[in-house]
Structure formats: C-alpha cells, structure tokens
Amino acid sequence: MRRRLPARLDPGTTIAAVRELHIRLGGTKILDGVTLDVTAGQVLALVGPNGAGKSTLLSALCGDLPIDSGQALLYQEPLAHWSAVEMAMRRAVMLQQATISFPFTVAQIVEMGRAPWSGTGRADADEQAIRTAMTLADVIPFSERVFSSLSGGERARVSLARALAQQSQLLLLDEPTAALDLHHQEDVLQLARRQAATGDAVVIVLHDLNLAAGYADQVAILSNGQLAACGPPAEVLTAELLSDVYQHKVEVWPHPATGEPVILPQRQGAGPRR
C-alpha cells in the first residue's frame, strides 16, 4: 500500500531524524550514537574532518545503509519501512561521487530526477521542474553535452540539478561545493537558503566552515563518528572546539559586516615573502 504524500510541513517540524544511531562497516565502528533532527525550513550544515562519518550519516538519512542499532526516521517512520519509490518522492540525494556509465546528456540526467513521479499526477510538472532545476544549477549552457565530457565542477552542478528536479521536501547534498569555483559555491548555498525558505529541509556536507557560518541555520560537527556539537553557527563554531576537532589551531573572528563567525586556520611559515 502506498502512503499518501504528507502536506508540506511547517517550518521547524522534524522531517528526518537519527536517534542513537550506531553503524559499523567492515567490522569498524563508523557512527557511534548520533542523534540529530533535520527540520523543515532549515539549512543544516554537516561538517567535520575527513573520515568523521559525514557521508555515512547522509547515507543513513537516505535509507541506503543497514543500521546496527538506533533509528533513522523519515516523517517519524523508520526508513526501513519505506519502499524505494516512496523514499524517492520524499527525499533527493546528491552523492559525493556521481558515476554515470552510459553517454547520457546533461538534460537526460536531470530528467532522471523525475523518475519517482512517473505515472503520477505530478508527472505533468516534469518539463517545468527540469527547466527550473537546470536554471538554478546553471547547467543550461551545456545541457546537450555528454556528462563524461564535463569538468568536475560542471558534473557536480548536473548532479545537483538532478536532485533539485526531484522536488522533494528533503534535500541531502554531499559536498556539493567541493569542486566549484567561488561564484558557484556561493550560488549553491544561496540556492540551499532559497529552498529552505520554501519550507524544504536541506542537509549539506561542507568542508568550508565559512560557508557553513554564512549560510547554515544549524551546524552539526561530526568527529570520529560522534556528534561533537550541533546548533546555530555562532554557538558551535568556536575556536576551542574547532581546534580540537580538526587538530589544527584556528581563530574565530566576527565578520566585519555581518558579525557571523569567520574561521581562520593558524598558519606556520606564512607571512610576508621577502
């Protein structure tokens, strides 16, 4: 039996959550008791060192990983209860590595984001959804190119467009800005904010702590599979915590224009060149 799609949730309502989540992979403990709420109308940045468990947590929120103990919930129900199509109607994912083995064009790949709606009343909106997603992710200039011919940054924008075309209320993005230039990085975060303003929940894995500080409502810091902190950027992005989690001394200063935290790594051997 297929569940009815819920009405759009009010801002602040939990869309997805993990509770005391433990995941082991290859015999190793990867996530160790993580509890986190993903709420409608908010951008949640997931940060932390390489290997901290960010992608694993995102996969758990997608329902793509078996859980050892604890819960991963979508609309209050364990993800294991949802069928693939039901999940695809409710959450869209952009993975860290997009592998496309056939010579599909950009437009064809974005169109794949509409697959969950095939045969439903919402298929009528396919064309508009694809066009809007391609415009937002700025892929129109190369929409007829084959995916494999694109640069890393262009590929990332196509993967983002595909996720946007899906038009679900939960958007899970794994390092969407990693290969992007400065302009497109800011674009993606502005886009995340706009999606959140429509009532969507956006989870975005970031390495750039200043992007997290500038755009996220909440920042979750993962360290060694545990949640080191979660809260508004000004509360959790502190010099003490970041220096400890990243094992590198950082300074945090208020942004001269906005007052948001600006994170500066301490540099040894840097300074005026002779």
Return residues touching Mg ion (CB under 5 A): 54-55
Tokens standing for residue 99: 């592998």
By beta-carbon proximity to Mg ion, the closer residue of 54 and 184 is 54
- Contact flag: residue 97 with ligand ADP (CB under 6 A): no
By beta-carbon proximity to ligand ADP, the closer residue of 109 and 227 is 227
**Candidate list 15, 21, 54, 92; residue touching ligand ADP; CB under 6 A:** 54
Task: State the Cα–Cα distance between residues 177 and 175, nearest whole angstrom.
Answer: 5
- Which residue's C-beta sits nearest to ligand ADP? 26
By beta-carbon proximity to ligand ADP, the closer residue of 42 and 55 is 55
The CB density around residue 36, as the number of other CB atoms within 10 Å, is 22
Q: Are 36 and 58 in contact (CB under 8 A)?
A: no
Contacts of 237 (CB under 8 A, 6+ apart): 209, 212, 213, 219, 252, 261, 263
Q: Are 110 and 82 in contact (CB under 8 A)?
A: no
By beta-carbon proximity to ligand ADP, the closer residue of 56 and 167 is 56
Using alpha carbons only, give the angle 45, 92, 113 rounded to the nearest 5 degrees: 140
Residue whose structure tokens are 């995941």? 23
- Contact flag: residue 247 with ligand ADP (CB under 6 A): no
- Lay out the site mask for ligand ADP across 163-192 (x = CB under 6 A, - = otherwise): ------------------------------
List the single partner that 97 binds among ligand ADP, Mg ion, none, CB under 5 to 8 Å by kind.
none
CB 103, min distance to Mg ion, A:
27
The CB density around residue 122, as the number of other CB atoms within 10 Å, is 15
CB 191, min distance to ligand ADP, A:
22
By beta-carbon proximity to ligand ADP, the closer residue of 30 and 211 is 30
Smallest CA-to-CA distance from 108 within 144, 155, 135, 133 is with 144
**Candidate list 12, 51, 231, 232; residue touching ligand ADP; CB under 6 A:** 51
CB 50, min distance to ligand ADP, A:
5
CB 26, min distance to ligand ADP, A:
3
List the single partner that 247 binds among Mg ion, ligand ADP, none, CB under 5 to 8 Å by kind.
none
* Sheet hosting strand 69-74, strand order edge to edge: 28-39, 14-25, 69-74, 77-78
CB 263, min distance to ligand ADP, A:
18
Smallest CA-to-CA distance from 133 within 113, 154, 153, 103 is with 113
- Residues lying near ligand ADP in the complex (CB under 6 A): 25-26, 28, 30, 48, 50-56
